[in-house]
């Protein structure tokens, strides 16, 4: 009896381990270009890509190049949700930030309602690099799992 119970427990644990977690990345890009000239969006790919199709192996003995083209990597099916820019002609717009927060909260709540868990959030900024450069973005990646 103990052997049967032990085997049953191992089978359940083994089955649970086989079911790998699934991850989904959604990115928000918020413009920090002065005068409201930039574009801000939430971007969600609607198709999957296998990174191995675009990966090459390079060693001293073997220099195997992947023959895929850079254009093949592009995702043509994606959602794009408009966001407001951080700046307008008058300067920083806190109303725009609050509006973006409301849209991002809605997106996160929708993902959670569909069985996803927000696992990680990572962000970065590319800001004004000096005289003559009025460009910049604030990018955030929301990584969900289920």
Residues 47-87 pLDDT 10s? 999 998 888 888 877 666 666 677 788 888 999 999 998 88
Q: CB atoms < 10 A from the CB of 40, how many?
A: 22
Supply the pTM of this predicted model: 0.76
pLDDT tier at 43, thresholds 50, 70, 90: very high
Average pLDDT, the chain: 84
Chain centroid to Cα 119, Å, comes to 11
**Residue in 46, 43, 3, 5 with CA at minimum distance from that of residue 27:** 43
pLDDT tier at 89, thresholds 50, 70, 90: confident
Q: Token pair of 67, please?
A: 């023959």
């Amino acid at each position: 009896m103990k052997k049967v119970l032990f085997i049953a427990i191992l089978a359940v644990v083994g089955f649970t381990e086989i079911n790998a977690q699934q991850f989904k990345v959604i990115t928000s890009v918020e413009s920090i270009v002065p005068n409201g000239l930039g574009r801000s969006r939430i971007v969600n790919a609607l198709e999957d890509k296998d990174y191995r199709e675009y990966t090459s192996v390079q060693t001293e003995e073997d220099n195997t190049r992947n023959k895929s083209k850079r254009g093949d990597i592009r995702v043509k099916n994606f959602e794009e949700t408009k966001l407001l820019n951080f700046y307008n002609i008058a300067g920083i717009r806190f109303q725009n930030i609050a509006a973006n927060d409301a849209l991002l909260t809605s997106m996160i709540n929708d993902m959670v309602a569909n069985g996803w868990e927000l696992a990680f959030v990572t962000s970065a900024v590319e800001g004004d690099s000096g005289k003559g450069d009025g460009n910049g973005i604030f990018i955030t990646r929301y990584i969900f799992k289920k």
